[in-house]
A and B are shown apart, each in its own frame.
Chain A
């Protein structure tokens, strides 16, 4: 089953204005259920815009998008996806638990039930002991894990992640990548992951989509056939480096344009 289907999608900001920006053009992409697809490319290639189009936070100027076979608007109404941004965007006035339970609260799920689910999700991201804390009492990495727990709390079939580990230090980042892969495997979620980092894209993905800027286009799709599940040693395998090299070359090509 296809989780995502984008056909000839284009996005133009301020169309007809002097500040017109052609953010995306000719985007055609299909993502199967359970895939982990990373979007990578230089700044301004429209990766984040693409994520927002899928999430119905923006409407495309052209083309067609299907999320689980539905329009993005319908998929959003049905709460088919969870989203994680580069900043954790936790609400300061809520405890960690109440932040994770926020989507469930909006869906009118009874308090005992949503608290139980939220606790479960906090365990999943190894923050079980921090339910009563306030977001500002946590480190950046912990905050981001809370954001991931929140996105997973209502068990969406699709996870949209916009450079979720971009602001973290390298050590934390690698640990979070491991955690994310474990969650991905346990929940069989489809993930669309925006990143700037070549090793991150190779390590996490089943497929990497390379994008070129101005206007944003898909220049290449690279299958990453490293063995599953990925483990710490995966990063030390020769194939890992081959994929990295391949991806780096693909990126250099689009940057030269």
Chain B
């Protein structure tokens, strides 16, 4: 058994046993499908609904990804400005906190009103607003977390502020940034699906789940949820892979390479 397989084993065992227990539970107690469908029933629905699911997923995931990317870019720019200039930080933070406290149930109708019911920009902007805050706040914190001795060391070489940023602050902030990206990836899917739940094209996961749930076709609704979760895991893993490439030196990564 390779080291990689050994690491994956606990998760795989847990996943499979959960499915087995779930299936047994549903069958044993004769639980009706509209309360809790069995994994096998969800699998059947998944196969039958695949063309519709795939179309919906492509639309939803591309909006989520576009929003995630836009939010990342804006958050990194604003975060760097906030870390560099105190006035920016002090001016920005209350607004950012306020934006972050705005519930998505408010954001979604506003986005629909602004961009129209069917425009992908509505979903993209909701996702971008949602992922902005955790990335920005973590970046500011990361950029400010270089130890005083390391800053003094660079000062002793008469470095420019830009050199301090590139040679010290950004590498120090990387672990913070990647943690934020992982949180943001999950948020982007939640944001996209909830926004679509409030309205938008029918061939999107949010609308698909809403419609199927209303029709009590819970197997179909569940299969869409499974697809979204799988995509969330995929994003998480991808970010983790990039993280390992970018910062092999970090404690959190070291032992695994």
A and B together in one complex: yes
Output the nearest chain B residue to A106 by Cβ-Cβ distance. B157
Q: Closest approach, in angstroms, between the C-beta of A118 and any C-beta of chain B?
A: 14
Which chain B positions have C-beta within 8 A of A94? 249
Interface: B155 (CB within 8 A): yes
Output the nearest chain A residue to B154 by Cβ-Cβ distance. A106
Number of interface residues of B (CB under 8 A): 20
Interface string of B161-172 (1 = CB under 8 A from A): 001000110010
Interface: A55 (CB within 8 A): yes
Among the stretches A73-81, A170-178, A222-230, the one at the interface with B is: A73-81
Interface: B14 (CB within 8 A): no
Interface: B156 (CB within 8 A): yes
Cβ contact within 8 Å between A93 and B171? yes
Output the nearest chain A residue to B152 by Cβ-Cβ distance. A57
Interface: B254 (CB within 8 A): yes
Interface: B153 (CB within 8 A): yes
Cβ contact within 8 Å between A107 and B156? no
Of B147, B152, B157, B249, the residue contacting A103 (CB under 8 A) is: B157
Interface: A85 (CB within 8 A): yes
Which chain A positions have C-beta within 8 A of B152? 52, 57, 83, 85
Interface: A82 (CB within 8 A): yes
Q: Closest approach, in angstroms, between the C-beta of A152 and any C-beta of chain B?
A: 13
Cβ contact within 8 Å between A87 and B149? yes
Cβ contact within 8 Å between A102 and B149? no
Q: Closest approach, in angstroms, between the C-beta of B115 and any C-beta of chain A?
A: 41
Output the nearest chain B residue to A156 by Cβ-Cβ distance. B156
Output the nearest chain A residue to B155 by Cβ-Cβ distance. A57
Cβ contact within 8 Å between B147 and A82? no
Interface positions, chain A 89-107, Cβ under 8 Å from B, are 89, 91-94, 102-103, 105-107
Bound: A76/B249 CA distance, A: 31
Cβ contact within 8 Å between A89 and B150? yes
Interface positions, chain A 189-238, Cβ under 8 Å from B, are none
Cβ contact within 8 Å between B250 and A92? yes
Interface: A70 (CB within 8 A): no
Bound: A77/B167 CA distance, A: 18
Of B149, B155, B157, B249, the residue contacting A93 (CB under 8 A) is: B249
Bound: A77/B149 CA distance, A: 19
Which chain A positions have C-beta within 8 A of B229? none
Cβ contact within 8 Å between A106 and B249? no
Cβ contact within 8 Å between A134 and B249? yes
Q: Closest approach, in angstroms, between the C-beta of B246 and any C-beta of chain A?
A: 9
Bound: A105/B154 CA distance, A: 11
Cβ contact within 8 Å between B254 and A79? no
Bound: A91/B151 CA distance, A: 11
Output the nearest chain A residue to B147 by Cβ-Cβ distance. A89
Interface positions, chain B 147-202, Cβ under 8 Å from A, are 147, 149-150, 152-159, 163, 167-168, 171, 174
Which chain A positions have C-beta within 8 A of B153? 83, 85, 89
Interface positions, chain B 126-165, Cβ under 8 Å from A, are 147, 149-150, 152-159, 163
Interface: A241 (CB within 8 A): no
Output the nearest chain A residue to B254 by Cβ-Cβ distance. A136
Interface: B111 (CB within 8 A): no
Bound: A226/B155 CA distance, A: 36
Interface: B26 (CB within 8 A): no
Cβ contact within 8 Å between B168 and A91? yes
Bound: A93/B157 CA distance, A: 19
Interface: B247 (CB within 8 A): yes
Output the nearest chain A residue to B146 by Cβ-Cβ distance. A91
Which chain B positions have C-beta within 8 A of A134? 249
20 A-B pairs with C-beta separation under 8 A? A55-B156, A57-B156, A76-B158, A82-B156, A83-B156, A87-B149, A89-B150, A89-B153, A91-B150, A91-B167, A92-B250, A93-B174, A93-B247, A93-B249, A93-B250, A102-B157, A102-B167, A106-B154, A106-B158, A106-B167
Further 6 A-B residue pairs, CB within 8 A, beyond A78-B158, A106-B154: A85-B153, A87-B149, A91-B150, A93-B174, A93-B247, A107-B157
